[in-house]
Structure 1
């Protein structure tokens, strides 16, 4: 065997039959034993994992060093299988496997087989453990009861890991007795009654000893439906002792409710006397209504005179002892006195930031406002379904707001997140019927090959419990729930981030059906688009900046809706001047575009525009796919980034259906009216841009159309999340992604798929948003 190290167990069950071999990583012992047929196992100079139930006989030999490379050896003769696990030995070598029939006496594997035969008779037989994982036991010395979390054999006897009051304790088998519980109701009813004061004192003493981390004072103190998963964030905060958390549940699961439960709990503990809620301006009314109706908290908006009065009192260090305010992100970032107010040093108890991904970009005023807010408050709750929009740097910036300095640099966080990639692979495998138990165990074993994953495999008590679950076939629903909990607890971000997916909590969850509506262009449409792109390139060249940066909005407009782009070209060529797109978003590219020198459309472009006429291959395909759904009684949300595109679609769709529009130019009162009428069934279709893609609830609607695709997959997820919410009655949600391969859409789609991979590797799986 030549030197080197194999980085994973590369065999399946069938490949090990009637073979012998060597594998250098002892951490894969559980996986290897699970692949072999009832082997005899000898462990030399090492800790014995909990594999007793998977082997015919288990023996251990302590304080014995062999002249063999450390690792795992197996021998399957057809009449029996032996496994030798060597911890004290020479350096590991590269893996090897051969048929048992071809093994000769001069080969190293034959020497290992001889060692097994020689040592087996003198090795100590490991008897079956008295206690199973999750058994309740009593420590003889104190009479106190515990629950077994994991078990190992140290060469002389079984050792049990147990948790009590948030701490782990390790005890030998000899020091434990079975826990005897009298759970017969009749015995409790007819037995002697203890003194009420003694019972009360015992209960209070138990709570005080646990630092109240297992008691929710806010339980049933709100007007909300009981959904257990919504207590995850507040329980996480209590268990970890941390006052800051990032709640990254999928859209539609009630992050507002979860924030309200945290507020209620901290209020009960006198830790939320001063509260500030920060959210997009479009959600202020919703937050005020939700907090008052469900939790009894009255939020006063900080705007106009109210903000000036608050500012005056804050600068004079005369803020009241208790208050609850709400302010929009847009107003917070433009509050000139904010830094001075924070500098006074009179902190808030709690701040809640909804749609916190709006603060993800470090150079922006939103982020700077978030950093000041973080400095100002004791407890901070960030809410976002999309903590990663384009790259892991987005997540790092949010974590810097939450717990400054804890994760070092962005590069350091990338390395620390490597175990999460492995854990998320295992999570996906839990419900994949094509993944066998040995493959699940092999996936988990990859954790030990990462820098930050190896300590997890070696030290965390959840690992053996998880391995036991992964080895089962099939996995029961309870097994899957338990495995997901262990995987979440092992995650690098588990102490500061919680995430719940709809598929984990909603048994009647609607299935997402993402469909591509591919648009083939005519020769005239392609000719116009090519000339339009050439015109954009010339304008960018004049400014000396890349075309994709300076001309992003015009290029996206042409890709999304050729008739609108054609109209702009004809209008400008007639002397009306450069048109402006009215997207509700803003970016550095928009600022750059405003400085692009004016350049009238060239003759070839104008000619192509006039030759195009009113042709539009895209809209008829939309109407054809949308027609059966809307005519069948289902309501639809149609998204586009561009207001002119929305106006074009309104003009055409309203000829057949009842249509309304939502965008930043629609007055707030009218927006609320449209949403109420849509809910009441007075509209069939609502057209919207970014203003309706965050925070609003349309669970009565079951069709989403992306008439154009944004670069950011999280914006697509936000759009779909408006309808994929608790309360959705349809069994299937239809997602129509309309795109043209000949335009910018092709690049956008490929980038979307790439960025979805970044999110799923770090945070976890996404529900379908686009077909591949």
Structure 2
């Protein structure tokens, strides 16, 4: 950041605006470069209209006013370098699609690199092709050779930073860089940050719904990658904009002015989008005596095995989840465990569990699912219902049962190819019926044509539950959404539902709120699922377990309050600084 190093400058007696204005005056070379880039964008189109929009198919994409405004501002008011920071669910991908379409129209996109989290790369590829007619190669495609072999590339950021590809990515001068989930590069000590810092590009568009996750430094790091020098050095930034405890902003007007040069943030309440209501229906069922006996046997085995070898945590946690999903899912894991470890200390217990599984002739959840989908057949368009389960074995058993009852069914899981997944979704939309899916569907799919979802078994991480719900409860959904949660009474599943999720109303939180709550919990190095499992293992009685989960609910409520305070802090940064006159 040549020309911006102010470490040796005395700053205590000079107004923030005057000093920071001097930063821009020193950046003449960068300003000149930005002017050249702006001329490229406007070449032949001096009126700076989004002329490519007329080429879009209205049946493929419906553009909303805030999205069009964001694309225009990013291109022509921010000279092609912008942080798109809309709240979750407002269509930042659509905004980038419009930007790229316009740049293609103006022939300023000879090479484009889009970096995303791995699980979102194919979604980006599909949306840009289907909605904007833009063809990109994805690093997961068979045809992908390397980053220097294609001009329009979508790749996971971790692939780009890998030892195999990093040099090729950095050796190329890119016209356009798009970085999704930009908060992943908030830490300047990571390889991801270093990659973006070293990349060569003319235009850049970063996307994140959470520019600040824990402290204002997050925002500084992300913005400094996009627009170096905008905030000066880190020391100057902290001196002028943050008090010692990082809880109170100072010089807010100046910070707002500088953010307005690079960041666009739309909030749900500021748009004209009318999101439909979400209704949650949790149904708990008494297990049969045989199911209860099986659950107790598995829980006793898991607790005993964990007490002897805590390194088994993942497989033991899996058993505890499978036993409330279906006997057939549990059976496969038990058989595999016996086969792979023939001298296992607890072999007799595992054999007993297998015998108990074989004695079960009625699977309660499976039978009660029929009641729910029967309601849907009578009351929902084309009887469409999405049923989620975490396990392939459970999925197959449900499919077989539904087929035997005469239902039209569709299966979706991670083993399908990209083209197969597309066809399955199309068949579900056209034919109706029941789509039974694993969590391979929980991200990256838009299924607004369906408005009813069943969680047959429940992930212990509420973010994964929200990702499932987000497939149908999003922009474009015209009807109210109905979510059914199924749980067996007196099991870990019921505790998670009743004593955690419902107690602090997690089902009504936004993805952004959930992310804030969970990220604060996981800063301690403990995941949400680990915390649940540890409480289950350490409880000496049912009363202890209830008390432990009540305590966890209190902890989560406190995290939620912290998240709310963080949102108030974000509001101070992003939405106008209407917090009184003068600075703290």
Task: Report the TM-score range of the alignment, normalised by the length of the smaller protein.
Answer: 0.5 to 0.7
User: More helix by proportion, 1 or 2?
Assistant: 2
Aligned counterpart, 1:606: 353
Cα–Cα, structure 1 residues 398 and 577, in superposed 2: closer, same or farther, change >3 Å?
A: farther
Aligned counterpart, 1:372: 195
The counterpart of 1:742, out of the listed 477, 490, 499, is: 490
SS at match of 2:93: helix
SS at match of 2:298: helix
Contact 1:274–1:348 (8 Å) recurs in 2: yes
Correspondences of 1:338-357 after superposition (within 5 Å): 338-344=165-171, 346-354=172-180
Aligned counterpart, 2:67: 230
Unaligned runs of 5+ in 1: 1-206, 314-318, 419-448, 462-488, 580-595, 765-772
Return the alpha-carbon distance in structure 2 between the equivalents of residues 597 and 351 of structure 1.
Answer: 53
Aligned counterpart, 2:473: 724
Cα–Cα, structure 1 residues 262 and 599, in superposed 2: closer, same or farther, change >3 Å?
A: farther
Aligned counterpart, 2:153: 325
Aligned counterpart, 1:452: 248
Give per-residue Cα distances to partners, 1:422-451, cap 9 Å, x unaligned: xxxxxxxxxxxxxxxxxxxxxxxxxxx994
Return the alpha-carbon distance in structure 2 between the equivalents of residues 654 and 247 of structure 1.
Answer: 45
Give per-residue Cα distances to partners, 1:627-670, cap 9 Å, x unaligned: 21133334111112221221222122222311111111123333
Give per-residue Cα distances to partners, 1:495-548, cap 9 Å, x unaligned: 6463543894324x422112212233345433322321222233334434374x
The counterpart of 1:555, out of the listed 304, 312, 320, is: 320
Return the alpha-carbon distance in structure 2 between the equivalents of residues 563 and 280 of structure 1.
Answer: 33
Return the alpha-carbon distance in structure 2 between the equivalents of residues 659 and 360 of structure 1.
Answer: 42
SS at match of 1:560: coil
The Cα of 1:740 is off from its aligned counterpart by: 3.7
Aligned counterpart, 1:650: 399
Does residue 263 of structure 1 match 2:100? yes
Aligned counterpart, 2:34: none
Correspondences of 1:333-732 after superposition (within 5 Å): 335-344=162-171, 346-354=172-180, 368=191, 371-373=194-196, 375-378=198-201, 379-383=203-207, 392=213, 403=224, 451-453=247-249, 456=252, 496=263, 498-501=265-268, 504-507=271-274, 509-545=275-311, 547=313, 551-565=316-330, 568-569=333-334, 571=335, 599-602=346-349, 605-606=352-353, 609=356, 613-632=360-379, 633=381, 634-656=383-405, 657-681=407-431, 683-730=432-479, 732=480
Cα–Cα, structure 1 residues 307 and 670, in superposed 2: closer, same or farther, change >3 Å?
A: closer
The Cα of 1:687 is off from its aligned counterpart by: 1.2
* Higher mean displacement: 655-664 or 742-751: 742-751
The alignment's TM-score, normalised by the length of structure 1, stands at: 0.49
User: More strand by proportion, 1 or 2?
Assistant: 1
Aligned counterpart, 2:582: none
The Cα of 1:376 is off from its aligned counterpart by: 1.5
Return the alpha-carbon distance in structure 2 between the equivalents of residues 620 and 763 of structure 1.
Answer: 43
SS at match of 1:559: coil
Return the alpha-carbon distance in structure 1 between the equivalents of residues 288 and 186 of structure 2.
Answer: 40
The Cα of 1:697 is off from its aligned counterpart by: 1.9
Return the alpha-carbon distance in structure 2 between the equivalents of residues 653 and 399 of structure 1.
Answer: 53
SS at match of 2:311: coil
Contact 1:639–1:705 (8 Å) recurs in 2: yes
Contact 1:520–1:741 (8 Å) recurs in 2: yes
Return the alpha-carbon distance in structure 2 between the equivalents of residues 577 and 741 of structure 1.
Answer: 33
The alignment's TM-score, normalised by the length of structure 2, stands at: 0.62
Tell me: higher relative CO, structure 1 or 2? Use CA pairs within 8 A at least 6 residues apart.
2
Contact 1:360–1:398 (8 Å) recurs in 2: no
Task: Give me the CA root mean square deviation.
Answer: 4.9
Return the alpha-carbon distance in structure 1 between the equivalents of residues 186 and 411 of structure 2.
Answer: 30
Return the alpha-carbon distance in structure 2 between the equivalents of residues 624 and 728 of structure 1.
Answer: 25
Return the alpha-carbon distance in structure 2 between the equivalents of residues 546 and 760 of structure 1.
Answer: 37
SS at match of 2:301: helix
The counterpart of 1:243, out of the listed 60, 71, 81, is: 81
Cα–Cα, structure 1 residues 288 and 541, in superposed 2: closer, same or farther, change >3 Å?
A: same
SS at match of 2:166: helix
Return the alpha-carbon distance in structure 2 between the equivalents of residues 361 and 601 of structure 1.
Answer: 51
Return the alpha-carbon distance in structure 2 between the equivalents of residues 503 and 691 of structure 1.
Answer: 33
The Cα of 1:713 is off from its aligned counterpart by: 2.9
The Cα of 1:399 is off from its aligned counterpart by: 8.0
Aligned counterpart, 1:277: 114
The Cα of 1:622 is off from its aligned counterpart by: 2.5
Contact 1:280–1:329 (8 Å) recurs in 2: yes
SS at match of 1:701: coil
Return the alpha-carbon distance in structure 1 between the equivalents of residues 249 and 282 of structure 2.
Answer: 39
Cα–Cα, structure 1 residues 353 and 394, in superposed 2: closer, same or farther, change >3 Å?
A: farther
SS at match of 1:527: helix
